[in-house]
Amino acid sequence: MGVGGADWLERSERESEENPTRAIQLLGLKAGMTVADIGAGSGYYALRMAELVGPSGKIYANDIQPEMLAILKKRMRATKAVNVEPVLGTESDPKLPAGCCDVLLMVDVYHELSHPREMLGKLREAMKDGGRLILLEYRKEDPYVPIRPEHKMSVKEAKMEVEAEGFVLDKTIEELPWQHILIFRKS
């Protein structure tokens, strides 16, 4: 999503449509964890997760658009978030330190990747042993999810693509109104 869509990320009805509060609860984050929000955009998820990991934890808020990171930095100042680090990545590299993350999260991002193989390889390098790669993707299997088909993924599609790059689908959570939560681990 381009910077012109930043307001859509922050829309008031997002809670009733997608239930991000519940999504974050289901991620199993704990104080002290290091989490990367890949495609963080305006920081909608990153700033909420920062509260959960606390001052001993860290959030890498990654995006490929400097304009999105500028919005995020403004929101960080407003919320006094000190455990969020904006990271400018590229289409094929999130620019994260090796072995840094307990959780790598992509919220409605994976299907947008132009270089998924390269990105998954770099994300694998950024994972700690026992870490998790978590995708939230709009459910393609559900015709009632009011999102264009090219912005949806089925569990089968995600499993096939991500597992081909050295991951294994560990768990699927279907509690959200519109999205799957797909939890992968290194294979």
* Residue extents of the structural domains in the chain: 3-186
Q: Is 84 helix (H, G, I), strand (E, B) or coil?
A: strand
pLDDT the model gives residue 157: 97
DSSP track, 124-179: HHHEEEEEEEEEEEEETT-TTS-S-GGGEE-HHHHHHHHHTTTEEEEEEE--SSSE
Residue 6 has pLDDT above 60, yes or no: no
pLDDT the model gives residue 3: 61
pLDDT digits (tens, 9 = 90+) for 71-117: 999 999 999 999 999 999 999 999 999 999 999 999 999 999 999 99
Residue 18 has pLDDT above 60, yes or no: yes
pLDDT the model gives residue 15: 84
pTM, entire model: 0.94
Please report where in the chains the tokens 């959200």 appear, as a residue.
176
**Given pLDDT bands bounded at 50, 70 and 90, which one contains residue 9?**
low
pLDDT the model gives residue 10: 64
**Given pLDDT bands bounded at 50, 70 and 90, which one contains residue 1?**
low
Residue 2 has pLDDT above 60, yes or no: yes
For domain 3-186, say whether CATH 3.30.390.30 is its number. Answer: no
pLDDT the model gives residue 76: 96
Residue 35 has pLDDT above 70, yes or no: yes
Would strands 167-173 and 152-153 be described as parallel, antiparallel, or unpaired? unpaired
Which phi and psi angles does 63 have, rounded to 5°?
-155, 160
Asked which of 12-21, 47-56, 164-173 is least confident by mean pLDDT, the reply is 12-21
Mean pLDDT score of the chain: 94
